[in-house]
Amino acid sequence: MTLLFLCAGFATRLEPRTLTYPKHLLPFGKKKKLIDFFMDSIENIEDQITRKVLITNSKYYDQFKAWNDENGYGFELIDDGVKSKAEKLGAIGDLLFAIEKAKIDDDIMIVSPDHVYFKYDFNDLIKVANNHNASSIIVDEGEEDEMLNGSCLTLTEDNQVVKFVEKPKTCFDKWHGGPTYILKKEDIERIKNVPKDKYDNIGTVGETLSVAGRLYASIFSGELIHLTTEADYQEALEKYGSKN
């Protein structure tokens, strides 16, 4: 399984902080970066990861390279060639660019590592995908604003995702899908057929696979960090920064 970090966004809602610094590398104390929390959370599945790939843009490439080299994480870094927000490829565009550039030819764990799950066992996400021979996603019980600005899902009794709407007009269920998936190799072709006007949101992966009957949920109920605004960062800093 290939671990793929999608880090090519510009985090405009965190400006001016992110004008020169990527959101994923925001500091938490003297040693930790936001992305390091995610690396800690996947330690117990390291033996199931055969490759680590990180895609970012030209603006932030050097900073991610320094982070990767300093920590010895072993990521293969990909520069998507984008230098400004106006040129961005979108989450799906970067996903497909990375698959082609790195010649990824197996199952992929897709991650946006600004969304950190605490006390979650990623073995469950892998187990769900393997048991159903289908792709899987982490879901939690979302608050209304979280779902309206993210996604809303409906699950069956065996946790198959049968409805997935990105940025719904109204909340039709209690489930919210995060930006973390196991994408089965056979589902990659489905993502390649996504129209380019849908490239902006990673939730398009969920929408596409749920329509095809190819998505199952792993339920998460713990604490998480999800940074969107400066207020989110300050709240997370107060809670987690002093410990690092």
pTM of the model: 0.94
Q: Does 18 score more than 70 pLDDT?
A: yes
Q: What is the pLDDT of residues 159-193, one digit of tens each?
A: 999 999 999 999 999 999 999 999 999 999 999 99
pLDDT band with cut points at 50, 70 and 90 for residue 9: very high
Mean pLDDT of the region 72-91? 95
Phi and psi at residue 5, in whole multiples of 5°?
Answer: -90, 125
Q: Would you place residue 53 in the very low, low, confident or very high pLDDT band (cuts 50, 70, 90)?
A: very high
What domains lie within the chain, and their CATH numbers? 1-119 (3.90.550.10)
Residue 228: C-alpha distances to residues 14, 47, 106, 196 (Å):
6, 31, 31, 24
| Digit-coded pLDDT (tens) for 86-129 | 999 999 999 999 999 999 999 999 999 888 999 899 999 999 99
198-231 residue pLDDT tens: 999 899 999 999 999 999 999 999 888 988 899 9
150: CB partners within 8 A, 6+ apart? 142, 166, 167, 176, 177, 203
- Alpha helices (H) in the chain, listed in sequence order: 34-41, 61-71, 90-101, 122-132, 144-148, 188-192, 203-211, 230-240
pLDDT score for 222: 87
Contact 153, 141 (CB under 8 A): no
Q: Residue 166 has which token pair? A: 């990105």
> Quick one: pLDDT at residue 30?
82
Q: What is the mean pLDDT of the chain?
A: 94
Give 160's DSSP letter.
B
What is the torsional sign of CA 4, 58, 226, 228?
Answer: negative
Q: Which pLDDT score is estimated for 244?
A: 63
Show Cβ contacts of residue 40 under 8 Å, excluding neighbours closer than 6 positions: none
| Residue 7 tokens, joined | 């880090």
Q: Which residue has the higher pLDDT, 82 or 143?
A: 82
More confident residue, 117 or 244: 117
Residue 113 near residue 225, CB atoms below 8 Å: no
Residues 73, 24 contacting (CB under 8 angstroms): no
Task: Look at residue 242 in the predicted model and tell me its pLDDT.
Answer: 64
**CB contact set of 125 (below 8 Å; sequence gap of 6+):** 109, 136, 137, 138, 180, 182, 218
Torsion of Cα atoms, 95 then 98 then 99 then 100, to 10°: 130
